[in-house]
Amino acid sequence: MQGVIFNIQRYSTDDGPGIRTTVFLKGCPLACPWCSNPESQSAAPQVLYRYTACKMCGDCVRACPQGALTLAESGVAVNREKCVVCGACARACEADAMKISGETKTIDEVWKIIRKDLVYYETSGGGVTCSGGEILAQADFVRGIFEKCRASGVHTCADTSGFGTTEAMAKVLELADLVYFDLKHSDHEAHLRLTGVPLDTVLANLRLAEASPAAVTIRVPLIPEHNNSPETLAEMARLIRENAPSATVSLLPYHRYGENKYAAVGMTYPLAGLRENTPEELAAAEKVFAKAGLEVSVSK
């Protein structure tokens, strides 16, 4: 069993309780304009070029067998139609400005990294989180990792947008101790327009998560001018009450941490110039969900 990942982050404290190892899987059917991991969207390996690390030496240009790279005053330009992601540029780059995002690993290879920190999971109440990308697109691979974790008593967290088949969701839920479940909009047309996928599928999988033994935290990204109006938030609170009343809610303030990554993979950031949430907006959003009788917090 193999999967495609783009990062394994050890000593993570942001992806569940305690100290964790987060396995980031590559490939996502959604195209949220606020995505902070654009390198996760394509399931295929990609060249990442970081201008800020580049020494402008031209070693990568000379190493590329396809002639897909050119050096200019503004940095290295990657012709992604010519690029075959052979990795020659990354191997030639001593500054680590060129990287390959995405590699195939077996479950055993991933577990070998995870098990290095078993003592930290035990002492901190941590564990392993599978994130993405979208983990339901590689449900068998995620389940295989969770099976290894369950056999060693390691806590598991599934971080998902909820978009995938019910069969894929069931495979992951059976071995998940905690589910981080994203809810991005309450309106069906707006959800389809913003993410590219239908809301009905997400809600169906949310009901499966609610019926499972796993604890569920619903994470709501608060995106100014897109989904943070009082009316939209009240409707999202209603959907949560109807589909997952025992879930807790975590509100995620909008940030632009991933903006520089877009240029690195040859993409344009869709929300350039969008402001962040005001403290007043965050407080008002929290009140909306609390008023609906939901346990809610604002993530920092």
Using CA atoms, how far residue 198 sits from 36, 189, 233, in Å, is: 21, 8, 18
Average pLDDT score over residue span 256-271: 92
Q: Under 8 Å CB-to-CB from 213, ≥6 apart: which residues?
A: none
What domains are there in the chain, each with its CATH number? 2-43+103-298 (3.20.20.70), 46-101 (3.30.70.20)
Which pLDDT does position 1 carry in this prediction? 87
Give the ranges where the chain is alpha helix by DSSP (H): 59-63, 88-92, 107-114, 118-124, 139-151, 166-173, 188-195, 199-211, 230-243, 259-264, 279-291
Residue type, 23: V
The one-character DSSP state at 138 is G
CA distances from 53 to 56, 78, 161, 289 (A): 9, 16, 32, 43
Rounded to the nearest 10°, the torsion over CA 24, 143, 206, 157 is: -50
Do 195 and 32 meet the contact criterion of CB atoms below 8 Å apart? yes
Rounded CA gap, 229 and 11, in Å? 36
Q: Per-residue pLDDT averaged across 26-46, rounded?
A: 95
**Res 258: pLDDT:** 87
Average pLDDT over every residue of 215-241: 97
Q: At what angle do helices 230-243 and 279-291 cross, to 10 degrees?
A: 40
- Work out whether the CA dihedral 181, 187, 193, 197 comes out positive or negative: positive
Rounded to two decimals, what is the model's pTM? 0.93
Bridge partners of 23? 8, 130
Question: What are the pLDDT digits (tens) for 63-102?
Answer: 999 999 999 988 999 999 999 999 999 999 999 999 999 9
- Residue 224: pLDDT band (50, 70, 90) is very high
Query: Cβ–Cβ contacts within 10 Å for residue 22, how many?
Result: 20
Over residues 142-172, the pLDDT tens digits come to 999 999 999 999 999 999 999 999 999 999 9
